[in-house]
Structure 1
């Protein structure tokens, strides 16, 4: 099943995200402390540097850790912290190999409820509560993975018509709206902190 995705804002990188569940999971994992497009272009960069059209969890899990860190650090780096993120990507892939036969889509295949989906995502290395909620929303809003109660499991990120996260990005216009929402949230947090002092 191929989905049209616009998270990396680059056709080849977005095409990979649309056809590869592993690419989507890795993009979400990388989405911290760097711009969203950079994070979601990461899986395509990794695949290209590995000389592949797609990503393979078993191949990444078995990759020499130093060589994989070097691949992530090669200019332009896949992430601002290529060394630590290389470890996280490999841990994620090792978990998928050990628990899901290396099939990333097995994380959500056959889930009956949003709660179960959220719990499965929360169990992934590098996926805290917020990341698991955002990915639950992304699966529901853009990948057609909609078990009963998925919006509730995704929290505020599951709300219809919201522009809170990558789950809501379908093109440049919605990307700008999500950016604006994030800026407002940051400013509100700063203002609240200043009031306390």
Structure 2
């Protein structure tokens, strides 16, 4: 079931994210140390460079690592760190092939509850607890994947009406609110660092 997303802020890129579970996972994986929209445009850019309309975990998993890294590095680069992120995307796809037969949606399709879903997401290469919780919140809020206890498992990211992460972005207005929240959180963290422990 395709979902209408606004994470990349580009219709073609968002359309792919909304219908391809693997593209959504790859976008989430890429979402670090670069602007969020750039990260979530990455799967569309990759699909285009692979000459396909979707991403295929089995194909990516078996590609020559250097050739795959070269796709990432082509201008404009898919990520600020094309080499290491190409490696991570391949590792993610290899894990999906090994554990889920290459079917990204199988990660969450039959998850009995939020706790199990969080554990499955945290087991994915490149997904720490925070990234896993944000993706879990995205699944619940925008993909209607809501196993029992999903909000609790997603932590603060699962809160209704919050503007903390990509899970809460449904258009330009909410993007501005999420940006503001993140900037405020950064400022608070910096201030706490400067003042040190009391």
1:59: which partner in 2? 59
Aligned residues: 197
In 1, Cα distance between equivalents of 2:195 and 2:81? 33
Long gaps (5+) in structure 1: none
SS in 1 for 2:6: coil
Check if 1:179 corresponds to 2:179: yes
Deviation, structure 1 residue 62: 0.8
Report the counterpart of residue 19 of structure 2 in structure 1.
19
Taking structure 1 as the reference length, the TM-score comes to 0.99
TM-score normalised by L of structure 2? 0.99
RMSD of Structure 2 on Structure 1 (CA): 0.7
Residue 126 of structure 2: aligned partner: 126
Counterparts of 1:36 and 1:169 in 2: how far apart (Å)? 11
Instruction: Please report how far the alpha carbon of residue 196 of structure 1 lies from its aligned counterpart in structure 2 after TM superposition.
Output: 1.3
**5+ residue gaps in structure 2?**
none
Deviation above 4 Å: which 4+ runs of structure 1? none
Q: Distance in 2 between matches of 1:75 and 1:158?
A: 36
Give the match for residue 40 of structure 1: 40
Matches within 5 A, 1:142-181: 142-181=142-181
Distance 2:170 2:63 in 1: 33
Is structure 2 residue 80 aligned with structure 1 residue 80? yes
Q: Distance in 2 between matches of 1:98 and 1:136?
A: 22
